[in-house]
Structure 1
Amino acid sequence: MDSDIFDGLLQLEDEFYNEGYKLGVTDGAQAGYAEGNVFAIEKGFEKLLEFGRLYGKGLVWAQRLVVSEQDQTAEYGANIVSGGAEELSVEPAVCREMPCVPKGTRLRKNVRVLLEQVDPSTLSLDNTPDAISEVEERLKGAVLKAKLIQRAFGERETASDSIHLQSAKDTQTSGDGSGSIEDSSSLRVRH
């Protein structure tokens, strides 16, 4: 009979463990869902912000090409970039104050491709694996195309550019370049 009294006490620890485990699983599922939503919103915002930044740069570059072409041929209204599909409008006075643009069809084609890649009207916002991989591929291609265009325009990469566009020399710290153990010039800053 004594063993029946102690059996209840011994099972009490298992009952508390199982009850705590079930509560932890329930709370973890709710907290995980909330944290997952916040993480998804943050990452989605970062990617779409990058798309918007690249789209804005592309529109300015396109207008600079239009203004440069207009200044050279005095034919206003020519839309070089989109082939006449729609008129791009950035204040031309701002673009005229910028340095002259090198002439070339490859540059026009690169700007057109960049604008096609980051066009918000063609961007799929579905939460499917295919749509997500398409957005990531388009962003990678657009970042590379923007870097190529930026070099063709002779513009420097600035600190306000995306971390995708930063070069290794921008992230290095100062050092003597000797390569010794005390030299920190070859170390990269992690973000």
Structure 2
Amino acid sequence: MARDPVTSPVSYELNVSRLPAKGITITMEADTAQRVALARTHGLLSVEFFSTELLVRPWRGDGVRVTGRVTADMTQACVVTLEPLAARVDEEISAVFIPEGSKLARIEGESGEIVIEPEGADLPETFSGDTIDLGALAEEFFALGIDPYPRKEGAAFDITAEPPEEAAAGPLQEALMRLRNGR
């Protein structure tokens, strides 16, 4: 999950240089302006609720593990009818961060290859400085939970329907009909 250089509408930077061994819990809830910005950014009609609870704790010395959950209530447009459709995102968050230059970031082995297990954990992400943007991380998992093709129950495309009569009135449609009929 590469970081976007644009700041997230729900940006929340946490200094991770001195985390307690047991970690720290961060709870965030988006305000009205942040929810409006999230809706605009992700092509939603609205975001009524956006909340996340994260546990941030040290990982293998200088790394950081973030676990938790993001939940959101939103309204999308049905891809068939364009009517408003209520939807919910409830995604588990799990990520590991390591500082740039960390010994954990070096590739091991003679070949220099990185072996990725399809069902295994994601590779750690690197960060610079001593802060991680937890809001941007939560937004990434929120985006993963959005249905890209929301459809109201029972809504379906009717691909067998004839086009309306008025659609055949234009010059392009008339030319296409002449071609189709071989005239």
TM-score band, normalised by shorter chain: under 0.3
The TM-score, its normalising length taken from structure 1, stands at 0.23
Flag the structure with higher helix content: 1
Query: Higher relative contact order at CA 8 Å, sep ≥6: structure 1 or structure 2?
Result: 2
Flag the structure with higher strand content: 2
